[in-house]
Amino acid sequence: METNLQVESGGGDGKGKAQISINNGRELKYVNYGRGLNVAVLDENTGEMISFACFDTFAKECGDYFAEFIENLPNGRIVAIAVKDTAVGVETNSLSDKALATCKSLGSKEIDKLGMRDSWALIAKKGEPNAAKEALAKATHKNDGLFPETPVTAKTDLNVSGKPSNGLVISVTSGGYNNVDSSASITIDGRDALKSDYKDGINVVVFGGDNSKPLSTHVFNSYIPGQADEFAKLIEELPENRIVAITVKGDGKGALNDRGKTACKALGSRLVDKLESNGSWTLIAQKGKPGSAIENLKNTPVAKDLSGKPVPVAVSLRLPAPIPTAAPTTPVTPASNGQNVRLQQKVQLNDLRVDCYSNWWSTSKSVALQGKRSLVGAPLSEVGNVVNAGAVYVMEYQDGQWSSKQKLLHPEPVINDLFGLSVDFDGNWAIVGAPKTANNVKPGSAYIFQFENGEWKYKQKLQGPKDYSGYQQRWGYHYDSFGYSVAISGKLAIVGAPFSETLDPYRANAGVAHIFQLENGTWQFKQTLVPDDLRGGDLFGSSVDLDGDVAIAGGFYVYNSSNVSTGGAYIFQSQNGQWQQVQKLQPDDLKYLDWFGTPLALKGNLAIVGAYGTDRPSVAGDVGAAYIFQKLQNGKWELMQKLQPDDLKAVDCFGTSVAISGKVAVVGAMWVDVPAVNAGAAYIFQLENGKWQLKQKVQPEKLAYYEWFGHSVAVDGEDGEIALVRGNKQHEAGAGDEAGAVYFFETTA
C-alpha cells in the first residue's frame, strides 16, 4: 500500500507556516508547531506518526537536543522536518555543529546553507541518507526590514504494509519563565488533561498504560519545602507501564532534587540534569520502557517571537491503540410498559470526508430531532475547496427509512467557520451556528433557514450586538464564538457567545446569550442575557436551550457561593416582553471543575443538565453525572434527581450530551471504554412513579476504539419514541475514515 508524505516550511517574520501531512493533505493532528525545527517521526511500516517535537534552535543549545532526539531513533524510522519562522539566531546564523552533522547523516545536502529566516523541509529515512528529499529557499530582505514568507515543500511516497493504530496523541509544552508570561500544557487529543490550573513548578499527568486516560494530576511547587521529595516519590512509585507527562511552568528546578532526577532518568530522561532555573522542560515516558521516552529542553532566555509571545518547547507522543476487548453483557431493565429500545437505523453518508462530524470535545448540540425529521451538523465539511467551512444534513423518515434529503451549505463559506457545530429547528424554522465566522474580527454568526415548498432555504444571518464585541473591535483576534450554542422555539431563538466580554463592568470571556424574535418575517435582536453574578472566564452561553418563554443557559466555569468554579446554569423567563433571570441552578454536591451547565436541555417543566467532570468516591475523576430539575407550581425549579449509573468508571464523562422529552431522558458518555477504548455509550432513563429509572445502556454492535458514540443526543415524543445518537468517528468502509455516523433508535413493545 502506498501513502504520501508532504512537508511544508515557511520562514519569514513569524508568519511562516510549518505543516507535515500524510495521505493527500491530512495534517498531523494535536501537535504544536513553533519556531525552529518541527520534527515528526513516522512508523516506516504504517506511515503513522509516532512522535513529534519542536526544537527552538534559535537558541543554539536546542540544536544539540535535536541531535540527541534523532540519534535516539532506531534505523528505518521516517523523519520529517519543517522550519517555521527561523531555525537559526541572529548572532550565530547557523545550527549547532551537532545539529548540522545530524542533518547530514539523514541525507541533507543543503543544511550548511540554512540561514536566518530561510525555509527548509526534509524527508528522510534514518540509516538511508541517499533516500532523502529536501527543499531550501533563502529569505529575501525588503526595504521595510521584513522578511516575507518563502514557502517550500518536500514530498515523497511511502510503501507501507501495516494498518495505523489511530491511537490518541499526548502533547506537552513548556514555556519556562519570562518576565511577561509563563506557559505550560498537557493535552490528550487536544483536550486539556490537567484538571486544575497550571502552577509554577512541575506539572504532571499520569495516564493508564492500557487505556491512555488521565488517572491522576499533580503540581509540585519549587518554593514549598518537601515538594521535591513528593515529586520523586510519585515517579518512583508509579506502577509499570504507567505513562507520565511532565511539563515545567515558571521555575521547575527547585522541585527537582537528586532523588527526583534519578527517578526521571529511570523513566528515560537524558536531559533532566541540564535543566536550569527558569528553563523549559517537557518529558513523556512510560514506566519500565525508558527507550520510548521523548523530551525537550531549553534554558537560554531567547527573544520572544514577533507577536511578543514566549516560544515554548513541545513534544507529542502517539499512544498505541489497545486491542479491543469483548464487551461484557450489560443487563437491561425493561420499561414497565413493556417497551424496549432497539436500533432502528445507522446512517453514514458517503460524501463525508475525514472528521466531518468532529470538533469532538465540543459539547455543542450538533443534532436535532422532531417528528420524522432531523438535522445533523458536520462542522468540518469542506464547501468547494474551503476547509472546515461546515455543512448540515437534513434527514427525513419515509417508507421505513431515514435518508438524507438536503445538505445545507454555509451561505458564505470561510475556512474554519465550523458551520453546523450547533443546530436546532422547530417546525419550519431552523438555526445553525458558525462560531468562528471570519469577518475581520471573527465574532461568529448564526444562520436562519425556513422550510418552503418542500425544501430548506437560507433566510437570514444573525450576529450579536456591537455592545458585546468591544474586545474584538479593539484587539481584532479573539472570538466571541457567537453561535457556539443555539436553540429555537416558535418565534424565539437564543444564541450563546461564551467568549464575549462585558464592558460595564469589564469581564473578559464572561460570555452572554442573545435573544432574537421573529417579527414581520424578520428575526430581530431583542435582548442580551447576562447573569447577576457573572464573572470573567465563566464562559456563560456555552450551552443554551429554549422552550416557549423559558430559556436556560450554562457556563463551564461559573462559580458557586463558596467561590469554587463548578459550572452553573441559569433559568430566564420572558415577562411582559422582558427576559429576567429567575433562578440559578447549582446542586450542593458540585466540586471544582465538575463542568456542570454544559450541556443542558429543556422541555416543558423539566430540565436536564450534564456535569461530565463530576467524580465519585473511591473512583478517579471525571466519572460524570447528569441532574434533572422540575419546575414546581410556585415557579421554582427544584432538583429532582441526580443520574450516575453504577457501571461508570474514571473518565467515562457521563453527561457529555443530554436530551429530555416527556418521560424519557438520554445521556451520552462518549469516553466509555467498553467494548473498546473511548467507544462511548448512551444511557436511556424513564420516569416511573416519580423516579428516573435507568432502562437501557445503548451501544450498537461493532463499536471500535475512539468512536465516541454518544457525543451528541436528541429525543422526541412523550415516551421517547425516537432517539438520535451521534458517534464522532467510524472506522468502516463506505465513508471517509473517521467521518462519523448517526444512529436512530425506537421504542418497541
- Tens of pLDDT, residues 389-437: 889 999 999 998 999 999 999 998 888 788 999 999 999 999 999 987 5
Q: Which of 493, 494, 492, 513 is nearest to 502 (CA)?
A: 513
Confidence of residue 352 (pLDDT cuts 50, 70, 90): low
Phi-psi region of 653 (alpha: psi -120 to 50; beta: other; left: phi over 0): left
402 occurs within a structural domain: yes
Return phi, psi of residue 491, to 5°.
-100, 20
Question: How many C-alpha atoms does 695 have within 13 Å on its Cβ side?
Answer: 25
Q: At what angle do helices 258-267 and 227-236 cross, to 10 degrees?
A: 30
Confidence of residue 475 (pLDDT cuts 50, 70, 90): very low
| Last residue of one domain, picked from the residues 102, 131, 164 | 164
What are the grid coordinates assigned to 172, written together? Answer: 506537552
Which residues face 203 on adjacent strands? 219, 247
Question: How many C-alpha atoms does 73 have within 13 Å on its Cβ side?
Answer: 28
| Last residue of one domain, picked from the residues 116, 141, 164 | 164
Does residue 619 have a pLDDT over 80? no
Rg over CA atoms, the chain: 26
- How many other CB atoms are found less than 10 A from the CB of residue 395? 23
| Last residue of one domain, picked from the residues 147, 164, 181 | 164
How far apart are the C-alpha atoms of 628 and 451, rounded to whole Å?
Answer: 33
Note the pLDDT of residue 550: 98
Note the pLDDT of residue 436: 77
What are the grid coordinates assigned to 543, written together? Answer: 450551552
DSSP state of 466: G
191 occurs within a structural domain: no
CB 340 within 8 A of CB 719: no
Inter-residue long-range contacts of 468-475, CB under 8 Å, 24+ positions, other chains counted: 468/497, 468/500, 468/501, 468/502, 468/503, 468/512, 468/514, 468/528, 469/441, 469/443, 469/500, 470/501, 470/503, 471/500, 471/501, 471/508, 472/441, 472/442, 472/443, 473/441
Confidence of residue 179 (pLDDT cuts 50, 70, 90): very low
Q: Which of 252, 243, 111 is nearest to 186 (CA)?
A: 243
Whole-number average pLDDT of the chain: 84
Note the pLDDT of residue 476: 35
How far apart are the C-alpha atoms of 598 and 554, rounded to whole Å?
Answer: 6
Higher pLDDT: 168 or 325? It is 168
Confidence of residue 27 (pLDDT cuts 50, 70, 90): confident
Q: What is the CATH number of the domain that holds 486?
A: 2.130.10.130
Note the pLDDT of residue 508: 79
Note the pLDDT of residue 209: 59
Q: Which amino acid is at 434?
A: A
Confidence of residue 443 (pLDDT cuts 50, 70, 90): confident
Residue located via cell numbers 476504539: 705
Note the pLDDT of residue 626: 98
How far apart are the C-alpha atoms of 52 and 228, rounded to whole Å?
Answer: 29
730 occurs within a structural domain: yes
Note the pLDDT of residue 94: 84
60 occurs within a structural domain: yes
Average pLDDT over residues 645-660: 92
Alpha-carbon distances of 97 from 94, 104, 130, 447, rounded to whole Å: 9, 11, 21, 57
Task: Please state which of the ranges 208-217, 241-250, 320-329, 674-683 shows the lowest mean pLDDT.
Answer: 320-329
Confidence of residue 329 (pLDDT cuts 50, 70, 90): very low
Note the pLDDT of residue 472: 39
Does residue 229 have a pLDDT over 80? yes
Average pLDDT over residues 301-315: 67
How far apart are the C-alpha atoms of 135 and 11, rounded to whole Å?
Answer: 12
| Interval 554-582: pLDDT, tens | 999 999 999 999 999 999 999 999 999 99
Locate all alpha helices (DSSP H) within 217-343, ordered by sequence: 227-236, 258-267
Average pLDDT over residues 458-479: 61
How far apart are the C-alpha atoms of 116 and 457, rounded to whole Å?
Answer: 53
Work out whether strand 401-409 and strand 391-398 pair parallel, antiparallel, or are unpaired.
Answer: antiparallel
How far apart are the C-alpha atoms of 224 and 219, rounded to whole Å?
Answer: 11
206 occurs within a structural domain: no
- Classify the C-alpha dihedral 264-265-267-270 as positive or negative: positive
160 occurs within a structural domain: yes
Q: Please state the length of the chain.
A: 749
Average pLDDT over residues 543-549: 97
Domain, as residue range, for 128 = 2-164
Note the pLDDT of residue 502: 77
Residue located via cell numbers 531555525: 87
56 occurs within a structural domain: yes
Does residue 355 have a pLDDT over 60? no
Does residue 311 have a pLDDT over 90? no
Highest mean pLDDT among 43-47, 172-176, 250-254, 516-520: 516-520
Note the pLDDT of residue 328: 40
328 occurs within a structural domain: no
Does residue 341 have a pLDDT over 90? no
pTM: 0.71
Total domains, the chain: 2
Task: Please state which of the ranges 32-41, 339-348, 543-552 shows the lowest mean pLDDT.
Answer: 339-348
Does residue 469 have a pLDDT over 60? no
Work out whether strand 78-85 and strand 2-11 pair parallel, antiparallel, or are unpaired.
Answer: parallel
Work out whether strand 596-603 and strand 578-585 pair parallel, antiparallel, or are unpaired.
Answer: unpaired
Note the pLDDT of residue 447: 97
How far apart are the C-alpha atoms of 47 and 38, rounded to whole Å?
Answer: 18
Q: What percent of the chain is predicted at pLDDT more than 70?
A: 83
Note the pLDDT of residue 659: 96
DSSP E strand stretches across 576-662: 578-585, 596-603, 606-611, 625-631, 637-643, 657-661
DSSP E strand stretches across 12-151: 18-22, 26-27, 36-42, 49-55, 78-85, 119-125, 128-137
What are the grid coordinates assigned to 461, written together? Answer: 444571518
3-state DSSP call for residue 71? helix
Does residue 384 have a pLDDT over 90? no
DSSP string, 628-646: EEEE-TTS-EEEEEEE--T
Higher pLDDT: 507 or 697? It is 697
| Peptide bond connecting 505 to the previous residue in cis, omega within 30 degrees of 0 | yes
